[in-house]
Amino acid sequence: MRRSFHLQKSCCSACGFPSAERGNNWSLKAIRRKTTGTGRMRYLRNVPRRFKTGFREGTQAVPKKAGAGASS
């Protein structure tokens, strides 16, 4: 048994056993600081709203027929 295998954690610090691959997150805090959303996001801020309509632009809404919904 290698020394890098932690008995109490049942996990190897060298290879990550028993998981498939060892994670490599030594720069996780740096990624969190610089990631998308920490700045202005001038373009990306509007993408979800535009996605809802399928990125349609410059079209006019079809006028509703007068009195069609008020009939009883």
Kindly report the number of other CB atoms within 10 A of residue 5's CB atom.
15
pLDDT in tens, 19-52: 999 999 999 999 999 999 999 999 999 999 999 9
- pTM, full prediction: 0.53
Query: Going by C-beta distance under 8 Å and a sequence separation of 6 or more, which residues neighbour residue 57?
Result: 50
- Residue 58 belongs to some domain of the structure: no
In a domain, 70, yes or no: no
User: Is pLDDT above 80 for 15?
Assistant: yes
> Does any domain span residue 72?
no
Rounded distance, CA 18 to CA 46, Å? 43
Determine the straight-line distance between the first and last CA of the chain, rounded to whole angstroms.
Answer: 82
- Indicate whether 69 belongs to any domain: no
Q: How many domains does the chain have?
A: 1
| pLDDT classification of 2: cutoffs 50, 70, 90 | confident
Top-confidence residue, 5 or 71: 5
Beta bridge partners of 12: 5
Which residue range forms the structural domain that includes residue 36? 5-52
